[in-house]
Structure 1
């Protein structure tokens, strides 16, 4: 792994664990075992630029995973249940779902920084697009599919945050039972 990728991977983990504000550059440097010059060589604008790179990396990883799941299943309902089951399994195995959400980073910084807000918005729009496209394949109108995709994104993000705060996969289990029923009402 090259230095830039290592910095991004390490910083992503630290930001997810401690939040953007809770992680200083010195901690990133120490954890990566690199000099300040090396960090600024790859991220000349500093910590915020590094955060945006982390968000882009997470975006690619998350959306690739979602696309893979949604391609494997014939209907949106089947794909949604498979995705939620995967999140539950990850939570039960690791006690966290940190690789699938960046809500804590969004809530901490999105109102302070337009570039960070835009990077976060890009991921949410990309996720909603995957859900919406699958719903259109299921026969829904684009307008209805877009509305349901927004609701799905909110349900997943909220469910993940509830799992993390309640230290239980129960919220995602409830969502996996109710979301398909709600989606059937639109078909």
Structure 2
């Protein structure tokens, strides 16, 4: 793995754990075992540029994973059930769901720049697009699919945050039982 990718991977984990404001530049340098000059070589605009790169990387990973799950199942209901079960298993195995949540970053959005807000919005829109496409394939009209996809995104992201705050997979387990049942059968 090249230095820039390693910086992005390590920094992504730090931002997810502590939020953007909670992670100092020195902590990033120490965790990545690099100099300040090396960081600025790869990210000339500093920590904010690094965060945007981390969000773009998360966008790629998360949307690819969701798309893979949704492609494997014939209906949105089955795909949603499978995705929530995967998130639950990840939480039970690791005690966290770092690969899927960026709420700690988004919660600081008021203190962050417009480019960071746009990077976060892009990830949410990509997730919603995957859900909406599957719902339309199930026969839901576009408007209803878009509204349902928004509700799914909010419910799943909220479920992840509740798991993290409660240190329990219970919220996702409940969501796994309830959310798919709100979706139209094909």
Q: TM-score, normalised by structure 1?
A: 0.96
Q: Secondary structure, in 3 states, of the residue corresponding to 1:44?
A: coil
- TM-aligned CA deviation for residue 3 of structure 1: 0.5
CA distance in 1, matches of 2:122, 2:110: 12
After the TM superposition, which residues 158-169 of structure 1 pair with which residues of structure 2 at under 5 Å, given as runs? 158-169=158-169
CA distance in 2, matches of 1:176, 1:15: 27
- TM-aligned CA deviation for residue 110 of structure 1: 4.7
Q: TM-score, normalised by structure 2?
A: 0.97
What CA deviation, in whole Å up to 9, does each residue of 1:156-186 have, x standing for no partner?
A: 000000000011111111111111221138x
Any unmatched runs of 5+ in structure 2?
Answer: none
- TM-aligned CA deviation for residue 112 of structure 1: 3.0
After the TM superposition, which residues 1-187 of structure 1 pair with which residues of structure 2 at under 5 Å, given as runs? 1-110=1-110, 112-184=112-184
CA distance in 2, matches of 1:123, 1:77: 22
Q: CA RMSD in A?
A: 1.2
Any unmatched runs of 5+ in structure 1?
Answer: none
What CA deviation, in whole Å up to 9, does each residue of 1:54-112 have, x standing for no partner?
A: 00000100000000000000000000000000000000000000110101100113553
Any runs of at least 4 consecutive aligned residues in structure 1 with deviations exceeding 3 A, and if so which?
A: none
Equivalent pairs counted in the alignment come to 186
Q: Secondary structure, in 3 states, of the residue corresponding to 1:21?
A: helix
Which structure would you say has the larger RCO, counting Cα contacts within 8 Å and 6 or more residues apart? 2
CA distance in 1, matches of 2:9, 2:84: 24
CA distance in 1, matches of 2:176, 2:26: 41
